Structure 1
């Protein structure tokens, strides 16, 4: 053992450790399916002997100098295959180090290159390190604790779960906590009344929310239909779609003026007379590019669809029936457009209101941008997610560790409600009266592969229900304890919790499976409850460096069965986009490492339903379909989702965002029944290549309702 020092690429100086050399040799052996610890230790000792004269002369050596000696010793010992694997691994480390250096961020907690990119682009303040970011957030959120000693205790706990990537809050909390902005909520719902004055007041208020970083949901169901009479004037009503265009334009102007890209979700009730125009309002894929939109469906409507019954369209202003159409035709038209480009989505309003915790306060009519958070008007929700991949030990779920993280996560998010600076007093009043939070998960696909469970299996569905039930029960118990300690939420009286015989309860809702695009990349884990979208791909780093991104669990499995992962096997996986076409890979591994587009849509829906069963709010997940899927498959997916108790659904057919259907425009004089799925499916298409990230060029993929870049975290949420 030498008492000498090593200078790392980051500039940090550490004491030389022979064991680290042995470990690096062992990793190189594993890359070529060899594992001889005795040999690795022997090489470690030989390297130490070679280094001794240099250390005595220089005192401090750089990691590159030490690496050169390791290479020389391996070659001298005629261990050419291990030397080759070591050199390849070392070159990748050099490339990553070069790319990281170009970012100008000091990594003081050991993050991946992609994680550092995400932190720099989205969360770090000027001159801040990742550790500094987590300390800033922990300190700001712990300020909700009134006792100084308690505050210090929880600050440490909050920092620990974030810095170890066990739990991460939503993006606005990471970016704004402890700053002058202080707006920590990601999502809001605003009212949309049936008056010009009310509509433009809502647009003004929602713009203030977006300015500080937040997506906004609306229900347009109260707006009178297009062409309806307007009292006191000779004019006619413009209708919901016209006001959608105004909101879209306002959002674009706000973004151009330097605001953060946010977005809008518009919901229209299926009884609204303008429902057909609403469904087809994104005929041109470039239009309404700041808006997601979903149809609000009821159980009555879905039963009518199954029996092919007529459906009344009702003027929300007068309450009178203005038209009767085929329920199935409305549904099939919506499914046809979802098949075409993913819009509109559908939310099931009756299912949502079954879980409405405060029915006396109001009915839930709208959801946030990605649909996972039903909210009342002027309400917001603070979100955070547990990294399930960090809660596994010895191939099994570490339930005690998971319980601890849930308890810390609930308290963290409840504190966020208290310390958040709300742009509008109305929002602050409603949020603090209900104290809704949304604790969710990410890393589900990672956990499954570590446990050797195929995503599309009954075992996976059973584990999903078991885990979410455990998380919900732990979260509920924590909220009950917080209610005793700090007081129940103001609208507790008459709430669902009082009916459930609770005497104290801190939060109206506790669990949500939200999109985790950016924070999943920061945590270096799979997105939400989504399956893996690729097992290997190349990402474009700064300076034009192409870095291979490989599923580390896959590497372990391949080595275990004797496959050499240092040769062209990874290139084959990237080129094929799947393991299924590579003969050398055993079928057992192929089943475990199945990707999103290899999973049947029914299994996607069943997985969403399994998590929804024990989730207070809703679940954000994309139901992926193959490029050759038919409209009938989309129809079946939505019906299955309703039957299984999902609160909403988003579908994405592979490549559908790259196509533009021609000559299929809605004409109010055309009989609606003529617009059937096969007409749209069989119409001509024009290919428009839009599937690469505009920031770094890496291929985008669809997850949790968003187009996401796996390299730089660029995201366009269904817009």
Structure 2
């Protein structure tokens, strides 16, 4: 193999230079520029940067794919490949392929996702620990992982060890979740999917596991639901759970009310957006690879986002086609979708995907070489080596690919079709049917040139519903496939395209546009001319708040002669959106049943699955969630997730005027028993010219406990300035008393622990910290806690200084727009005050006060 080191750009660029060049490339879209630079620009292990813009990356990718093309007949040239991937316009390798192709600095896989499992569904401790180790080994190579827990014996089952009975599924969920949280992947946390069959006697415990906040926070969870259970739900019948699941001679079984368990699933999904649902019989019956189940291709779980059901040790690489770019004359009456160009590019995309498998095999060989060269004993390396040998076998044998799309919402808007309408659903199905047929045709043609995947057997596939649909739609293609085979065992998926859509500057995946208009903030120099200062933060920095238009919404404005530089009022923005093709077509507008119906219709032409979320307003009933799930099963969806607005923290806030609400009067159900490990933020501030530091323990991104005091003195905390996040870990001293340690990763990736936060600060601070942490843990709203602390009358000057520091630290977590009760503006005496970025801001005169 020709070393890619020879093709490595020798010139290093500074981060500032690369960021400036990337900003120019993305036309001052700082979010897209930062995401590309942080996640995908070529870097070595010291952080040196070798690419200035995505154009450098696209040339790197084109060069490597062209190298593989030369191995085969009728090769694509480097120029042909570059032309379809440049500017993220048509074909976009996603995630791991984008970061890893031609990257000599990372010994990592090009696969986005993996599923693992035990031979014979072993539930021994050895088998369970093996899965834990395999999961970590994959995550350190940048892969997302899924595995199923249905093989673990239910709680209370007899075991032949000192425990006598099994602990059931939930403790192992927590183990796998914690392992995920420990693994860093170039600045991101690992991703994990845990699934279980509804037929398992512990499935109810599995469904409830994440309700206790702070539990299983490192995993997505989904329930595999079979048709018999769904029929029992519809009819109000009983349902029998078994272990082993679906066994004709179970060791254990119990009969339950199907509707009762169903209502629990629905309630939990309504409350917290989990569990997701996998309609398992639909997945298995439709799965082309399951035609080869006896050869090791039995589907057992899915990747973390649910779009790729996989057998153990199989993996998949992802690529998205940007649908918006096939709309000619977008946002005009002449708008039309160029199906001819679309079909041409599908052929190229599938060739590229097959080439990426060869590149993946090279990467796996490099991983195996490194494992062999590592100094550990062979028995230490055995699990990791066997894992990658198994993955290599599946990649070589089945050559699975994952072609998908992005910009569905923008494509429809550009054509003047409303997302979610009957016309919109019909056009989407037409596009996806074309993609499905032409991708399979491309794979058959590749088989003519390069050979079929090694275990292809038309006889095995002859009754598969997906293959039969292809036969009905295009009999010529079907009979060519019988004669020549197919290059790839399965080909299609629709993944979420979060960072990809940021760089294509389009809507994500198959989803509608989330918001056509939203708010951003930027730091400004108050002395500059023409600058508007909306608020000043606690360290004195000035910020301007401004409206941002979704890129394609802005394009619609430009096409229609609307001045995009104008400072629009909220009322003007509302009128503008109403005139646009995005009106009633955003995530929160689309008719939910229509979206589920669309997903089911599109699914007929996707051989893997679809990652899609049904967005619901906060006030929808649990009954509606149940109806959506039932409808999804009836129309042939393979899986479905719902998100009710406000059921999870950390979601973008719309650009609407803030509505009065009584959320601050309700308590959050935090865990009363403190989890052993909490994510933590580090907040630094100055109090009377002294440097202070606060450690804020978080549950679901909300404060749960606080430690704070003087920093950088002999008795305080010595912590590098660059540390902003870490973990607070509850430990015990030798005398049995508790202590709280702070752990972070240094710049080399090694864990550094500061022991005994509770003893680093003044004991008087610690006692008050326990009091304030207690109010946090019981869900008292932050603004109310801030008001409580401010009202305390304390004699000691040092404790009052500390008290002010606690207030300043906690104000970071008060939701912007929260109404301030009982205070007036010092400037205009108005009581119309809100929190904004931790500062008190007057809505009437604009005066802002921090600290």
Normalized against structure 1, the TM-score is what? Answer: 0.73
Determine the C-alpha separation between the residues in 1 that align with 2:453 and 2:569: 53
SS at match of 1:179: coil
Cross-structure match for 2:317: 382
Mapping of residues 568-579 of structure 1, within 5 Å: 568-569=567-568, 571-572=570-571
Q: 1:493, CA displacement in angstroms? A: 2.1
Determine the C-alpha separation between the residues in 1 that align with 2:522 and 2:399: 41
Q: 1:304, CA displacement in angstroms? A: 0.7
How far does the alpha carbon of each residue in 1:174-225 deviate from its partner, in whole angstroms, 9 at most, with x for none? 1111123241101000004311111111211121110010110001111111
How far does the alpha carbon of each residue in 1:147-177 deviate from its partner, in whole angstroms, 9 at most, with x for none? 49965x3432222221132111121111111
Cross-structure match for 2:607: 616
Mapping of residues 132-211 of structure 1, within 5 Å: 132-147=56-71, 153-165=76-88, 166-180=90-104, 181-192=107-118, 193-211=122-140
Determine the C-alpha separation between the residues in 2 that align with 1:432 and 1:254: 28
Work out which structure has the larger RCO, using CA pairs closer than 8 Å and 6 or more positions apart in sequence.
1
Cross-structure match for 2:627: 636
Compared with structure 1, are the counterparts of its residues 454 and 169 closer, same or farther at alpha carbon in structure 2 (3 Å cutoff)?
A: same
Determine the C-alpha separation between the residues in 1 that align with 2:224 and 2:511: 24
How far does the alpha carbon of each residue in 1:98-120 deviate from its partner, in whole angstroms, 9 at most, with x for none? x9879344567555433222210
Mapping of residues 83-482 of structure 1, within 5 Å: 103-106=19-22, 112-125=29-42, 126-129=49-52, 130-147=54-71, 153-165=76-88, 166-180=90-104, 181-192=107-118, 193-231=122-160, 233=162, 235-255=164-184, 260-316=188-244, 319-358=250-289, 359-361=291-293, 362-394=297-329, 395-420=335-360, 421-422=363-364, 423=367, 424-482=388-446
Determine the C-alpha separation between the residues in 1 that align with 2:55 and 2:324: 21
Compared with structure 1, are the counterparts of its residues 571 and 118 closer, same or farther at alpha carbon in structure 2 (3 Å cutoff)?
A: farther
Determine the C-alpha separation between the residues in 2 that align with 1:220 and 1:177: 33
SS at match of 1:288: coil
How far does the alpha carbon of each residue in 1:517-570 deviate from its partner, in whole angstroms, 9 at most, with x for none? 001101111100111111112334577676642135434655777866544436
SS at match of 1:456: coil
Q: 1:347, CA displacement in angstroms? A: 0.2
Cross-structure match for 1:490: 454
Q: 1:452, CA displacement in angstroms? A: 0.9
Greater Cα shift, 518-527 or 160-169:
160-169
Determine the C-alpha separation between the residues in 2 that align with 1:687 and 1:452: 44
Kept after mapping to 2: 8 A contact 1:207/1:254: yes
SS at match of 2:509: coil
How far does the alpha carbon of each residue in 1:281-322 deviate from its partner, in whole angstroms, 9 at most, with x for none? 011233211100100001111111000111112121871443
Q: How many residues align?
A: 569
Cross-structure match for 1:516: 497
How far does the alpha carbon of each residue in 1:561-619 deviate from its partner, in whole angstroms, 9 at most, with x for none? 7866544436557xxxxx6xx3x448553764632112232122123223212111100
SS at match of 1:476: helix
Determine the C-alpha separation between the residues in 2 that align with 1:245 and 1:545: 43
Gaps of 5+ in 2: 1-14, 43-48, 330-334, 368-387, 468-478, 525-542, 650-662, 673-777, 784-811, 817-851
SS at match of 2:183: helix
Determine the C-alpha separation between the residues in 2 that align with 1:563 and 1:104: 29
Kept after mapping to 2: 8 A contact 1:520/1:528: yes
Q: 1:228, CA displacement in angstroms? A: 1.0
SS at match of 1:312: strand
Kept after mapping to 2: 8 A contact 1:143/1:419: no
Compared with structure 1, are the counterparts of its residues 533 and 498 closer, same or farther at alpha carbon in structure 2 (3 Å cutoff)?
A: same
Kept after mapping to 1: 8 A contact 2:276/2:639: yes
Determine the C-alpha separation between the residues in 2 that align with 1:510 and 1:496: 17
Compared with structure 1, are the counterparts of its residues 516 and 258 closer, same or farther at alpha carbon in structure 2 (3 Å cutoff)?
A: closer
Compared with structure 1, are the counterparts of its residues 540 and 483 closer, same or farther at alpha carbon in structure 2 (3 Å cutoff)?
A: farther
Kept after mapping to 1: 8 A contact 2:115/2:315: yes
SS at match of 1:282: helix
SS at match of 1:455: coil
Kept after mapping to 2: 8 A contact 1:340/1:661: no
Determine the C-alpha separation between the residues in 2 that align with 1:523 and 1:560: 19
SS at match of 1:490: coil
How far does the alpha carbon of each residue in 1:672-717 deviate from its partner, in whole angstroms, 9 at most, with x for none? xxxxxxxxxxxx997689xxxxxx99x99xxxxxxxxxxxxxxxxx
SS at match of 2:494: coil
Kept after mapping to 1: 8 A contact 2:193/2:302: yes
Cross-structure match for 1:28: none
Mapping of residues 539-578 of structure 1, within 5 Å: 539-540=520-521, 548-555=547-554, 557=556, 565-569=564-568, 571-572=570-571
Q: CA RMSD in A?
A: 3.1
Normalized against structure 2, the TM-score is what? Answer: 0.63
Compared with structure 1, are the counterparts of its residues 261 and 234 closer, same or farther at alpha carbon in structure 2 (3 Å cutoff)?
A: closer
Q: 1:329, CA displacement in angstroms? A: 0.9
SS at match of 2:306: coil
How far does the alpha carbon of each residue in 1:301-349 deviate from its partner, in whole angstroms, 9 at most, with x for none? 1111000111112121871443211111111101100000101000011
Compared with structure 1, are the counterparts of its residues 295 and 586 closer, same or farther at alpha carbon in structure 2 (3 Å cutoff)?
A: closer
Kept after mapping to 1: 8 A contact 2:221/2:276: yes
Q: 1:232, CA displacement in angstroms? A: 5.2
Compared with structure 1, are the counterparts of its residues 142 and 542 closer, same or farther at alpha carbon in structure 2 (3 Å cutoff)?
A: farther
Determine the C-alpha separation between the residues in 1 that align with 2:227 and 2:433: 26
SS at match of 1:194: coil
Kept after mapping to 2: 8 A contact 1:210/1:260: no
Determine the C-alpha separation between the residues in 1 that align with 2:211 and 2:517: 35
Determine the C-alpha separation between the residues in 2 that align with 1:558 and 1:272: 54
Compared with structure 1, are the counterparts of its residues 231 and 479 closer, same or farther at alpha carbon in structure 2 (3 Å cutoff)?
A: same
How far does the alpha carbon of each residue in 1:72-110 deviate from its partner, in whole angstroms, 9 at most, with x for none? xxxxxxxxxxxxxxxxxxxxxxxxxxx987934456755
Determine the C-alpha separation between the residues in 2 that align with 1:393 and 1:563: 20
